[in-house]
Amino acid sequence: MNNSVNKSLDCAGRLLDLGRPNVMGILNVTPDSFSDGGRYNTFDRALQHAREMVDAGAGIIDIGGESTRPGAQIISEAEEVDRVVPVIEAISKEFDIVVSVDTSSAAVIREATSAGAGIVNDVRALCRPGALEAAAASQVPVILMHSLVEQPESGFVPAYENVVDEVSGYLASRAELCQKAGIAKEKIILDPGFGGGMFGKTPAFDLQMIKRFSEFHRLGYPVLAGVSRKSFIGAVLENTADERLSASLAVALLLAQAGAQIIRVHDVKETVDVLKIANAVAAA
């Protein structure tokens, strides 16, 4: 599918086969995800959710403690460490699965990778102070996502002459900077960053990036896509996030057929089923 991409990626001792699409299951450990917000409740539910995603065939569990939603509470690095590190430690101990940490903070990168995280997933592409150095020191693979890096002013409308080329150019320059900081090329995964707000895409740009997704492979890195329940689906279907499962699955299939090596989703079991039937058809 993409000869310049190594097939097996070492994620802190656990191997990820990049010769086929992998499902990354989203695990939120933000207390506001749950009604009572209690810390023990959050921990137990996170572990239960992780078990379900492992049993459903996830290849990676992505653990995040800081919401990127516009207007979401900004939390300190210490609070983010307190939320994610115990969950990362428990999941990487209990399950034979690659754990990624969804963070932009240098302190969280250091603590999470010490606790067993095998991938650093940063929606700000290691732009925050110390993040690049912390990721390089951790020796684990990194996911660099395109975004505006900071939340735009309300009313900001993103504009690109050619969204695929501009996003590709940004990702290529971040990937080069990573290599100068000592991160091996083989340990870099790119993500065009679907979605509005800080991610900087209108629904029309998201749709163009899906249509032209295979062009991102020209950069020569594995590519991840996160489209699950995102607002461009709501813009097309005029529905709410909890009504976007079938469209999320349809887009996951389009992305898998366009060569995405990792697909980041809420609904692991359903997505794994889609990829299995697609694989069976391909093998017929």
CA angle 130, 133, 139 (to 5 degrees): 140
Of the candidates 230, 244, 269, 276, the residue annotated as catalytic is 230
Q: How far is CA 208 from the centre of its chain?
A: 19
What are 152's two structure tokens? 């735009």
Is 230 a residue of the active site? yes
Min dist CB 28 to ligand 7PM, Å, is 8
Min dist CB 121 to ligand 7PM, Å, is 5
Closest to 279 in 3D by CA, of 17, 25, 8: 17
Q: Which is nearer to ligand 7PM, 33 or 284 (CB)?
A: 33
Query: Residue 226, interface with ligand 7PM (CB under 6 A)?
Result: yes
Min dist CB 58 to ligand 7PM, Å, is 15
Min dist CB 277 to ligand 7PM, Å, is 24
Among 6, 33, 68, 208, interactor with ligand 7PM by CB under 6 A? 68
Choices 83-91, 133-141, 173-181, 192-200; region in contact with ligand 7PM by CB under 6 A: 192-200
Sign of CA dihedral 67, 49, 111, 24: negative
Give the C-alpha distances (Å, rounded to integers) separating 188 from 27, 84, 144, 173, 215.
Answer: 22, 23, 7, 12, 17
Query: Residue 205, interface with ligand 7PM (CB under 6 A)?
Result: no
What one-character-per-residue DSSP string does 146-173 give? -S-SSPPPTT-----SSHHHHHHHHHHH
Is 264 a residue of the active site? yes
List residues near ligand 7PM by CB under 6 A: 26, 67-69, 102, 121, 123, 143, 145, 191, 193-195, 224, 226, 230, 264
